[in-house]
Structure formats: C-alpha cells, structure tokens
Structure 1
Amino acid sequence: MHLQEPRLRQWHRALMEIPAPPFSEEARARWMLERMRELGLAATSIDREGNAIGYLREPVAGEPLVLLSAHIDTVFPAGTPLNITEEDALLTGPGACDNAAGVTALLAIAAALRHANVETGANILFAANVGEEAEGNLRGMRYLLLPAHGRRIAFAVALEGSGNETVVTRALGSRRFRVTLQGPGGHAWSDASLPNPAAVMAQAITTLYACDWPAYPRTTINVGALESGGSVTAIPESATALFDLRSVDATELLRAEVALFRAVEDAVIAANVKYDKPLLRSTIESIGERPAAELADDSPLLAIVRSVDRHLAMRTSECTASTDANLPLSLGVQAIAIGAGGRSGGIHTTHEWYDATGRELALRRVLLVLLDCCDLAVEAEAL
C-alpha cells in the first residue's frame, strides 16, 4: 500500500479543506461520493441521512455484509479558520486526525481492494457517515443500521483517528443534556431580591461536581458550555448549561443522570422557597445518548483482530472510547473501532496534527481484519 501514499496525502489534505461541522457535512459527503465512484464502488449514493455509501460489488438483497465506516463530520463549528499546514508526512489543522485520517484510510482500503480485484466472501459496505461528533448523536450510524433497510450487518469496523495497535472493544456510554433555568430577570440593584438563574445554575453544577463518582467503573461529568445574561448590571432572565455524562457502566450512567436531575431540582426548589409562588423554572432536554456496550472477550471478531496482530507482530491494545461502534455493539452486532495508523495530537483543537509515518502498517491490519470478517460472515451464513 505504500505506493498509494502520495495519493493518500492528496486525499487527506483535500478532506481537511472541506469544512464539515455537525449537521453540515453535505460538501464532504459529495466529495466522498465522487471518490467512491472514481474507485469503481457499486451502488454508490448519498442516503437520506447524508451518508455517502458504496459497495465493493453490486449488493444482493439479504446477503451478509461487513460494514467499514469512517465519520466525515468534525467538532468544529461553521466559520472555523482552517489554517492547514503540511510538511512531509505531517498535516496540521482542524480535523487532521479526527477524522480525516479515518476517512482517508477508508478510501485507501477501497482503492486497494478494487485495484487488486479482490473477491471477498461477504460483500463490503463502505460508509462515510455523518453525525458522530458533538450533538450528532450517531445519527449516521443509526440510519445505516435501520432494520427497514434490510441490511444484514454481520460485522462493523469503524475507522477512527490514529494509531497502529489500538482497538476499541468497550463502548463508552454517554448521555448529554441541555439544562435551562428561566426567571423574571431584572435590575442588579433594585431587583436584587429576585432569583438569579446564573447563580442557581452554579449551585446545581457545584452540587453535581461534589458527588462521589467512581474510578471503577469510571464515570465522569462535564459542563461543556455555559450561557447567561448580556449585561453586568442586569439579573439574567435565563441560564443554559450543556452537561456530558459518561461511564463504561450503564447503571452508573443512570445514577449520574439521576444526580443531575436531582441537583437541578434541589437548586430550583431552594431558590423558590422564599417566594409566594415559584419564580424560577427549569427544563432539561436530552440532546444525545450513546449506549454503553462491550465486545465479548471470546467473540469471533476479537479473535480475528488478535490473530492479525500476531501475524503482524503487533500488540493488541484494547481500550474504551465513545465511537460509532457504540451503536452496533448495543444492537448485538460484533463491532470495533480501529486506528488508521500514524501519530496525532491536539485532538479537537484548531492545531490538531497527524503524522502519517507508518500508516501502511495500520492499513494492512485493517485490510486483513476486513477480509477475515468477510470470510467468517459467509461461513456463519452456511451453518
């Protein structure tokens, strides 16, 4: 695959030059569709959710499929300056690794299979999917796995970020909420006795952070955004905060959710108790949910990964993360997320960087895992 590297760098740079903020991935999806057609993939299209898809060969209704995906969206909002720099194998700029590296790897695998006219056991569905980041809530992957499509996904492999040896086998669950507190507002001096939504929100946040969250199973909370008021001399009419709750354990995740609701409720009740009628009210809106799940240690897919790694003299480094693999795992489909090679840093910052040195090894790894999955899917079908 090393002969492809100049083309991979061209693709990688081109992807970075196309903004793909959450819910605005159309331009990058169209670019991916063009590349898929150039490579000769079959039944290419952009589906109703915005995923660019194609098959290794013409699909047959009801046949087992192996899904190879890479999300095309980034965390960066519209208008983010790109400021891309390139020096030898090093690319720097928004989304250089997450997930331009994964999407480039998807194209590399498709190109290698088409160039060599490889006949796989099961057919492969290539998907450049939307909606992995931020409030996308895995919408692209959810659409791909809809039962109404009649697709029989035997295995799912998501290409995510960098690294040669990592494989995500444990899906980090998360729940995300938008909490809004609303009050009458007023003048900082003459209405000082009225409830302040910003202060009450601060109390709720302080209470939540004071909870004893376990190190195992690891559970975390984060307030990722705060918004309130517009003047230093005014009591704001509202305050809004975005909460991100994460855990590898579904029970602990539910406990964190209950703690959030209770912290908000208690803070609002305490603020309203001094008035004849409630002046402050709260709304809590769910803006995202990713199920916690795990690939069984004795699963055929994990056995394939370990076998390939032994063949390549690599160490299998299993880890936990929140990726597109969360959804198929939660639905009982054997799934992993796997690195696209190279090294990276500054993830989710505008100075994110990706060094493609050694990318070939990871691509070989992905290809071998994919081919073994295709064979096993057909064997399982025959049983």
Structure 2
Amino acid sequence: MSSRPLENKLKSIIDEIYNSQNFKQFQTFFENNYNQLLDLLCNITEIPSPTFFEDKKAEFVQKQMINYGLNNVSVDEQKNVIGRYLGSKSDKFIPIFAHIDTVFPIETELKVKKNNEIYSCPGIGDNSSSVAVMLMIIQAWKSNNYLPLFDVIFVANACEEGLGDLKGIKVFLEEYAVKFYPDIPPSAVLALDGTLGDIAHIGVGSKRIKLTIFSEGGHSWGNFGNENSIHILSKCISDISSINVPSDPKTTFNVGLITGGTSINTIASISSCFIDMRSIDQKELDNLENTILNIIKLNVNKTKSKFEIEYVGSRPSAFLPINHPLINLAILTGNKFDIKSFLRASSTDANIPLSKGIPALTIGAYDGSRAHTKDEYMVPSSLRKGILYVSLLLMSIIMWIEKN
C-alpha cells in the first residue's frame, strides 16, 4: 500500500465520489436495470466472436453504444468499437477497454444455460461480462446526463486473445489516440478482464514463434537415410525442453502445436511447431529467446536441412510499481464493496500502455471460473457488485488525474 498521507488522500477521493449525487443516481440506475444487464450479457455471449472474426459482435456493440446515446461511435479496421464520451474539457483523456474476442472457434455452440445462480456458456465470463458492464455504464452515464471532468473513450477492442497479439489496443493507441489527441498520451488506461478482485499490474511479456524445418524427405524404404524434418524438429524440441529458466522472475516456455509429415511411410520433408515464451522480466524473455534460437541454429546447421522462423506474437513485459496510486485506488475502491484484492501478473491489454510508460491496470468485474473452457460459468448476481466497483473506480481515477 501507499504512504498514510497518500492513502488518506485517495480515500477522500473515493468517498467524495461514492457520496456524490451522480454515483447515487448510477446505483439506482443499475439496480433498476439489473435484468436488462443480464439480458445484455446473454445477447453478447451468444454472438460468435473468435479472434480475427469479431465482426458480428462489433456490429452489435456499436448499435448498443449508439442506442444508449453515445454520438461519437466508430469501428476501425481492426474491428475495435470506439465510443468517445466527451467531458467538460478535452485536454486529457482516459480509455477503458473490454475485449470482444474469444478463444472459441466459430462453430462453438453458444447458448447460455441458466441454473439458479449460475450462468454457463463459453465466453460468458471472459470477456462478455466485462463488455456488458462497460455498455451499461455508458447507458447509466447518458441516462443521467453525466459530464465527466474530461473525455472518456470506451473501447470494445478486438484481437486480445492468443494470436490476436493485443493488436486491438495497439492499433487504438497508435492510430485513434494519436488522431484525436495529438501530443497527449492517455492519462491512464483501465482494462476490464478477469474476475472480481483481480488486479493485474504486471504485464507478462511473451514471444511466439513458428519454427518450420525443410528437409529432403522421401520414401521410408527406398530413401532411407535421407534427412527427416520431424527427426530434426524433435531434436530441437528435446534440447529446448532441457533449458533451465528462473522461477523468479518467473519465466516459462512451451511447445504447444506440432505438425508435419504426410504418411507413416514417408520421410517428412516439412514439419513445424509453435513455441511460446513468457516472462515478467523483459531481459529474461530476451535471454530465453536467444537461447531457443541458438538451439535451433545449432541443430539444423549440423544437417543439410533448412529452417524458417516466423514471429506470430510479441507482447512486451512491463509493470506498474506496487505503490502506484492507481493500484491503491483499485484496492481501496474494492474495500468499499468488500472485495478482496489480489495483485497478479497476467498477459492483458494493459501490457501495451504499461510498456509505453502509461499507468494501466486490468481489473475483473464478475465472479466465475473455467475461462477458456466450454464449461465456463459466472455468477450473475456478482455483477451487482462488479458494476458498482468498476464505476466508482473509473470515476475516482478521473478525479485523481484531474487533481494531479
């Protein structure tokens, strides 16, 4: 936590917002429209939205933003849905993100199953709950004619998951933010993703490569002795598996996919694998990358075969110091609703602004579990607390920025 004087200052900001007429109006609005929030959640969840194929969900979210009275709504080439909520002035701004893509293939059955206090469906928590909360906040603000101290940009962003490689937030910061706010970086960034109490302030960096081996190949009998790309790839993977990596700072690697060969009696001429490297420390991540590349070169260069490396993902490692006011605001705001906070490292949209020196956090807005599985579920009543938590935190961040 922060020093006592700073903590008292942050508590004062939170209390001022919490006791304000605006926040009381929002509380009433959320309570009166709780069933609408749940309907919205189900509608969002049941729209297929795998990474790179977010079109239908983007269209739905765009319509909702417009219906709620947000006038400055656009969809960029990355399929980010961007709603600009003008404040009393535009000398600074803060974007809030909730990604709309999921890890599930387009053909996945998406039908929300309701069982008392449990809603289950792929993607219902990660990240449909966050998108629903963000949209409902927009509606509450517009319905009560709320005027923030400065501009707030609501972004339902694409390409957060997997090989999407955080392209949605990357494009927003590189294009939209620069276009509308030249020479003014975001004062802070808030991303909605995860469960209640989660505060991701450390961005887990990652590098992902596709390694392909090209060999002579041939018939398993007639051309026995010719180089086999699978054998060479296997040797590379075996040596990679023996790499020692530090546990602190946590650093990991994984070979997640392997393809190659044409038949059991064919010497494979082409084979490939995908390698995932992660660390909370950029230096260790770079060291791991160099070690893996050297292993590949050493093994392949002993043969007549060739190799090709394609980078399919790169997420920078960065962090927000534990004593930063933004973290303390999130913890103290959670205390208002008896939410126990957990500081953690994760790979989220916050990675990108953090790597640019912009204060950023990723927080959760619901209770649930089994994300990234077909058994994913969430507790709908948790959104009563979650939406108030996100609202109070966002408004408190705005006031903190204005006062500093």
Whether TM-score is above 0.5 comes out as yes
- Following superposition, the deviation at residue 116 of structure 1 comes to 2.7
Q: 1:332 aligns with which of 337, 340, 357?
A: 357
CA contact (8 A) 1:56 1:114 kept: no
The 1:335–1:78 alpha-carbon spacing in structure 2 relative to 1, beyond 3 Å, is: same
CA contact (8 A) 2:47 2:110 kept: no
TM-score normalised according to structure 1 size: 0.92
The residue type paired with residue 14 of structure 1 is N
Question: Superposition RMSD on alpha carbons, in Å?
Answer: 1.8
CA contact (8 A) 2:87 2:147 kept: no
Question: Residue by residue, what CA displacement relative to the aligned partner does 1:190-238 show, whole Å, maximum 9, x if unpaired?
Answer: 2220111112111111111111111111111111211112211111221
The 1:198–1:81 alpha-carbon spacing in structure 2 relative to 1, beyond 3 Å, is: farther
Q: Which runs of 5+ in 1 are unaligned?
A: 273-277
- Following superposition, the deviation at residue 139 of structure 1 comes to 0.9
**Is 1:98 aligned to 2:130, yes or no?**
no
The 1:365–1:334 alpha-carbon spacing in structure 2 relative to 1, beyond 3 Å, is: same
CA contact (8 A) 2:218 2:226 kept: yes
The 1:84–1:197 alpha-carbon spacing in structure 2 relative to 1, beyond 3 Å, is: farther
- Following superposition, the deviation at residue 58 of structure 1 comes to 7.0
The 1:349–1:181 alpha-carbon spacing in structure 2 relative to 1, beyond 3 Å, is: same
- Following superposition, the deviation at residue 4 of structure 1 comes to 2.6
**Is 1:42 aligned to 2:71, yes or no?**
yes
Q: Which residue is equivalent to 1:177?
A: 209
The 1:201–1:150 alpha-carbon spacing in structure 2 relative to 1, beyond 3 Å, is: same
Q: 2:229 aligns with which of 197, 201, 218?
A: 197
Aligned ranges 1:334-373 → 2 under 5 Å:
334-345=359-370, 347-373=371-397
**Is 1:2 aligned to 2:31, yes or no?**
yes
Q: Which residue is equivalent to 1:317?
A: 342
Q: Distance in 2 between matches of 1:2 and 1:220?
A: 44
Q: 2:190 aligns with which of 157, 167, 174?
A: 157
**Is 1:287 aligned to 2:312, yes or no?**
yes
TM-score normalised according to structure 2 size: 0.87
CA contact (8 A) 1:123 1:374 kept: no
CA contact (8 A) 2:163 2:313 kept: yes
**Higher helix content, 1 or 2:** 2
Q: Which runs of 5+ in 2 are unaligned?
A: 1-29
Aligned ranges 1:59-70 → 2 under 5 Å:
63-70=91-98
CA contact (8 A) 2:125 2:378 kept: yes
- Following superposition, the deviation at residue 182 of structure 1 comes to 0.9
Q: 1:19 aligns with which of 40, 48, 70?
A: 48
Q: Which residue is equivalent to 1:132?
A: 160
Instruction: Tell me the SS of whatever aligns to 2:211.
Output: strand
- Following superposition, the deviation at residue 94 of structure 1 comes to 2.0
**Is 1:188 aligned to 2:216, yes or no?**
no
- Following superposition, the deviation at residue 45 of structure 1 comes to 1.0
The 1:45–1:58 alpha-carbon spacing in structure 2 relative to 1, beyond 3 Å, is: farther
Q: 1:212 aligns with which of 244, 253, 262?
A: 244
**Is 1:114 aligned to 2:142, yes or no?**
yes
- Following superposition, the deviation at residue 378 of structure 1 comes to 2.6
Q: 2:253 aligns with which of 221, 227, 237?
A: 221
CA contact (8 A) 1:66 1:370 kept: no
Instruction: Tell me the SS of whatever aligns to 1:124.
Output: strand
The residue type paired with residue 366 of structure 2 is G
CA contact (8 A) 2:193 2:363 kept: yes
Q: Distance in 1 between matches of 2:61 and 2:55?
A: 10
**Is 1:56 aligned to 2:88, yes or no?**
no
Instruction: Tell me the SS of whatever aligns to 2:124.
Output: coil
Q: 2:172 aligns with which of 140, 144, 154?
A: 144
The residue type paired with residue 105 of structure 1 is V
Q: 2:403 aligns with which of 373, 379, 382?
A: 379
Q: Distance in 1 between matches of 2:300 and 2:107?
A: 37
The 1:340–1:219 alpha-carbon spacing in structure 2 relative to 1, beyond 3 Å, is: same
CA contact (8 A) 1:64 1:377 kept: no
The 1:35–1:264 alpha-carbon spacing in structure 2 relative to 1, beyond 3 Å, is: same
Alignment: residue pair count: 370
- Following superposition, the deviation at residue 102 of structure 1 comes to 1.5
Instruction: Tell me the SS of whatever aligns to 2:403.
Output: helix
Instruction: Tell me the SS of whatever aligns to 1:22.
Output: coil
The 1:42–1:377 alpha-carbon spacing in structure 2 relative to 1, beyond 3 Å, is: farther
CA contact (8 A) 2:88 2:147 kept: no
**Is 1:255 aligned to 2:287, yes or no?**
yes
**Is 1:233 aligned to 2:265, yes or no?**
yes
Q: Distance in 2 between matches of 1:23 and 1:58?
A: 32
Q: Which residue is equivalent to 1:275?
A: none
CA contact (8 A) 1:122 1:377 kept: no
- Following superposition, the deviation at residue 154 of structure 1 comes to 0.9
The residue type paired with residue 57 of structure 1 is L
Q: Distance in 2 between matches of 1:68 and 1:292?
A: 20
Question: Residue by residue, what CA displacement relative to the aligned partner does 1:318-354 show, whole Å, maximum 9, x if unpaired?
Answer: 1110000000111111100000122222x21222222
Q: Distance in 2 between matches of 1:192 and 1:135?
A: 38
- Following superposition, the deviation at residue 59 of structure 1 comes to 9.2
Instruction: Tell me the SS of whatever aligns to 2:296.
Output: helix
The residue type paired with residue 11 of structure 1 is L
CA contact (8 A) 1:290 1:326 kept: yes
The residue type paired with residue 355 of structure 2 is S
Instruction: Tell me the SS of whatever aligns to 1:71.
Output: coil
Q: Distance in 2 between matches of 1:355 and 1:193?
A: 59
The residue type paired with residue 39 of structure 1 is Y
CA contact (8 A) 1:23 1:131 kept: yes
